[in-house]
Amino acid sequence: MKFVHIADMHFDSPFVTLSDKGNLGEYRRIEQRKVFKKVIEYIKENQIEYLFISGDLYEHQHIRKSTIEYINNLFKEISNTKIFIAPGNHDPILKKSFYATFNWNENVHIFGPQIEKIEFENIDIYGYGFDDFYCSAINIENLQIENLEKINVLVLHGTLDGSNSLDMQYNPISKSVLQQKGFNYVALGHIHKNNFEKNSKIIYPGSTISLGFDELGEHGMVVGEINSTENKLEFIKLDETEFVETEISCTEINSIEELIEKINEIKIQFNKLYKIILTGKRNFEINVYDLYKYELNNQIIKIKNETKPNFNLEKISKENTLKGLFAQEILQEIENKTYTDEIIDQALEIGMEVLE
């Protein structure tokens, strides 16, 4: 059986971190549609039998009926493809959600809040969907494959091996338990960075289109072919725009003009959006909002200041002032190595600001 696996499309996302940069949020919403059309075109061209959508297809709080109609019309174009959707925490199957009220095309199956099995001649597809914005667990331990002679696929949204209290709110799943179940393929969603490995059977494809600078790297879909003996899997990049971060050290920069020159020297690639991280010791005050007023390349979306003040402690320590005494104490702590460099830097910056 041939399939396509996507997740975390987040249609009608407000793109909060990008919306203050001109019309970039709207531009990315258009890109969502372009990327989704690529998925549908690939399915048509390659006669794909199954499409697995592992949650967060859309944003429940923002989704428009026109967008749902757009999605469903594309589903109609692949009427011979069986589509399985496992709702996630951003698109739960609520009583008044579009999953519950909209007349989806007949090739679409939406999983509910109980583990369900859909049977075909040679394949059984299991799935589960969120019915709320949070899900503590689906008790995966009790799930048993009924026919190991068939190809068995599990489609769901959740956190694999979560390690903190936040993870526990989004359907925590044990990878070791999943492996013991014996599924030929587990189509996961929720984590926006893919964990794709050709030899793995438990896959996050990542978000189909990057939503911002916390989702660096390539984004797309997993395509595969499964038979009784092996999985042939491939990750295909779909999102032509890539978010990247680049650092500029300010230690040797002595003025705002020099800093702007350094920023403008960055070799900008047309298909990338940039976040500039300022690092090192600063020799002058840096106001990020002032930097945006300069003529910067419009592909530079965000600037983050992580610099530390460049204090001359030796010089300050010779002053007959409270700042001098404080500098002496800091130098002593540096020599004793009582605290980490990070703690020393924080104490130095706060102390000097108070004593200014």
pLDDT beyond 70 at 19:
no
Pairing of β 123-127 and β 116-119 = antiparallel
Look up residue 104 and give its two tokens. Answer: 């989806």
CA angle 308, 309, 313 (to 5 degrees): 120
Pick the more confident residue, 336 or 163: 336
Q: What is the mean pLDDT of residues 242-252?
A: 95
Residue 303, domain extent: 242-309
pLDDT beyond 70 at 44:
yes
> In the block, which residue shows the tokens 């959508």?
53
* Amino acid 178: pLDDT: 92
Regarding whether 339 and 201 lie in a shared domain, the answer is no
Regarding whether 320 and 301 lie in a shared domain, the answer is no
* Amino acid 113: pLDDT: 92
Regarding whether 197 and 67 lie in a shared domain, the answer is yes
CA-to-CA distance for 187 and 201, rounded, in angstroms?
8
Q: Which amino acid does the sequence have at 328?
A: Q
Q: What is the pLDDT of residues 271-320, one digit of tens each?
A: 999 999 999 998 888 999 889 888 888 899 899 999 988 888 888 888 99
* Amino acid 183: pLDDT: 96
CA-to-CA distance for 324 and 332, rounded, in angstroms?
13
**Per-position DSSP letters for 15-32, written without gaps between them:** -TTTTTSTTHHHHHHHHH
* Amino acid 58: pLDDT: 98
User: Would you place residue 342 in the very low, low, confident or very high pLDDT band (cuts 50, 70, 90)?
Assistant: confident
Pick the more confident residue, 229 or 120: 120
> In the block, which residue shows the tokens 């690639």?
269
* Amino acid 133: pLDDT: 94
Least Cα distance to 160 among 129, 128, 202 occurs for 202
Regarding whether 327 and 199 lie in a shared domain, the answer is no
Regarding whether 330 and 286 lie in a shared domain, the answer is no
CA within 13 Å, CB half, 285: 4
Burial 173-206 (b: 16+ CB within 10 A, else e): beeeebeeeebbbbbbbbbbbbebeeeebbbbbb
Regarding whether 58 and 7 lie in a shared domain, the answer is yes
Pick the more confident residue, 292 or 88: 88
Q: What is the mean pLDDT of residues 121-140?
A: 90
Residue 154 pairs in a beta bridge with 126, 186
**Per-position DSSP letters for 253-294, written without gaps between them:** --SHHHHHHHHHTS---TTEEEEEEEESEESS---HHHHTTS
Regarding whether 11 and 84 lie in a shared domain, the answer is yes
Pick the more confident residue, 219 or 311: 219
Q: What is the pLDDT of residues 222-245, one digit of tens each?
A: 999 998 788 999 999 999 999 999
Radius of gyration of the chain (CA): 26
Pairing of β 2-6 and β 50-53 = parallel
Burial 7-16 (b: 16+ CB within 10 A, else e): bbbbbbbebe
Pick the more confident residue, 22 or 351: 351
Q: What is the pLDDT of residues 256-274, one digit of tens each?
A: 999 999 999 999 998 999 9
Look up residue 158 and give its two tokens. Answer: 């959740």
Regarding whether 281 and 194 lie in a shared domain, the answer is no
pLDDT beyond 90 at 139:
no
Q: How many domains does the chain have?
A: 3
Regarding whether 303 and 330 lie in a shared domain, the answer is no
For the chain, percent of residues with pLDDT exceeding 90:
67
For the chain, percent of residues with pLDDT exceeding 70:
98
Q: Which of 209, 237, 265 is the last residue of a domain?
A: 237
CATH number for the domain harbouring residue 24: 3.60.21.10
CA-to-CA distance for 54 and 205, rounded, in angstroms?
9
Regarding whether 200 and 317 lie in a shared domain, the answer is no
Regarding whether 212 and 97 lie in a shared domain, the answer is yes
Look up residue 38 and give its two tokens. Answer: 């690529």
Number of helices (H), then strands (E), in the chain: 9, 18
User: Would you place residue 169 in the very low, low, confident or very high pLDDT band (cuts 50, 70, 90)?
Assistant: confident
CA within 13 Å, CB half, 104: 17
* Amino acid 142: pLDDT: 86
User: Would you place residue 192 in the very low, low, confident or very high pLDDT band (cuts 50, 70, 90)?
Assistant: very high
Given phi > 0 = left and psi -120 to 50 = alpha, else beta, which region is 206? left
Look up residue 138 and give its two tokens. Answer: 């689906």
Q: Which of 237, 260, 286 is the last residue of a domain?
A: 237
pLDDT beyond 90 at 337:
no
User: Would you place residue 164 in the very low, low, confident or very high pLDDT band (cuts 50, 70, 90)?
Assistant: confident
Regarding whether 326 and 254 lie in a shared domain, the answer is no
Look up residue 32 and give its two tokens. Answer: 């969502």
Q: What is the mean pLDDT of residues 62-89?
A: 98
Mean pLDDT of the chain: 92
